[in-house]
Amino acid sequence: MRPEMRAGVVVPFALVALIWGSTWLVIKDQIAAIPPEWTIVWRFLLASAAMCLLAWMRGESLRLPAGGQRLAVLIGLTQFCGNYQFVYQAEHSLTSGLVAVFYALLLVPNAALSRLFLGTPVTGRFMLGSLVAVGGIALLLLHEARMAPAQGGVLWGIVLSVFGLLAASAANVLQAGPAARRTSAVPLMAWSMIWGLAFDVVLAFVVAGPPVIDMRLSYLAGVAYLAIFGSVITFPLYFHLIRELGAGKAAYNGVATPVIAMLLSTLFEGYRWSLLAVAGAVLAMAGLIVALSARRPAR
């Protein structure tokens, strides 16, 4: 049986896609209430505490091997600070479904960085599929630009999404490297979230001023959902996928995630589909599937 078809890969793959597909919509409500910088702080304050608790429940020490803290700092900076800061800001300008579709292209920088730093090969079929996917995303972005008001800041949302994509990709490749493979996933994620939280707190004070929180039940429930389901449950599973499949192939999770996100965006945000948007979605998914069929797991 091909490694990517085992239950130990298929089940976490499906769970991550389902949960992350729903988190985009929750994020949209979160950033409407208070400055996104502080929303991110509350999310990872809870998530880092819960991840430490998970390590304790599993009987795992939080002590990291030599070089582990340096790795945790880098993952915290790229994944739990840079990536999320850019994503939350991008959702001010773009619909949650569209940002999720944009993140489907994570496999492109993942493959490029994996090739550059880990020596993972990139095939012609993979490159062809990626080009098709990029064309689909371009059509979706064109649709968004036509539908959004002139002052909507669509271009700025795209720029922020690109930076967020690059930050997430850097974190993925770090997690696929030899140093991460020598480290237990849950303690590494716990420390990464702690370091990311530290960076987020500093940034929040500088950009948004003193701490602020929304005490509405819906907001607090959203923070809890994003922290527990969107972070504590999913990141160890995704780390497992990266170790099993490599950083490039693990990012194919983005094939299913935006489909879920855009369906929810249609139901709750009034996302309006046009022929252009449908064509873009079909091209993006087709390109990603072509790329998926081309690559073998990186070990």
> pLDDT, tens digit, for every residue of 242-268?
777 666 666 667 667 777 777 777 787
Give me the pLDDT at residue 298, please: 41
CA distances from 263 to 25, 90, 119, 163, 284 (A): 10, 19, 37, 25, 15
Rounded Cα distance between 203 and 79, Å, is: 15
Tens of pLDDT, residue by residue over 129-148, are 778 877 887 887 777 667 66
Tens of pLDDT, residue by residue over 68-82, are 999 999 999 999 999
pLDDT confidence tier of residue 124, bands split at 50, 70 and 90: confident
pLDDT, mean of residues 15-27: 83
Q: What residue spans of 58-184 are helical by DSSP H?
A: 68-77, 84-90, 96-102, 107-118, 124-147, 154-176, 178-181
Rounded Cα distance between 247 and 289, Å, is: 16
Check: CB of residue 40 under 8 Å from CB of residue 83: no
Tens of pLDDT, residue by residue over 92-108, are 877 776 777 778 778 77
Q: Among 292, 265, 254, which Cα is nearest to 165's?
A: 254
pLDDT confidence tier of residue 197, bands split at 50, 70 and 90: very high
pLDDT confidence tier of residue 4, bands split at 50, 70 and 90: very low
Give me the pLDDT at residue 297, please: 42
Half-sphere exposure of 174 (CA within 13 A, CB side): 23
Q: Among 45, 90, 72, 12, which Cα is nearest to 200's?
A: 45
pLDDT confidence tier of residue 150, bands split at 50, 70 and 90: very low
Check: CB of residue 284 under 8 Å from CB of residue 100: no
Q: Among 243, 266, 271, 255, which Cα is nearest to 186's?
A: 243
Give me the pLDDT at residue 2, please: 47
Judged against a pLDDT cut of 80, whether residue 10 lies above it is answered with no
As given in the structure block, the two tokens for residue 60 are: 């795992």
Mean pLDDT of the chain: 82
Rounded Cα distance between 21 and 257, Å, is: 4
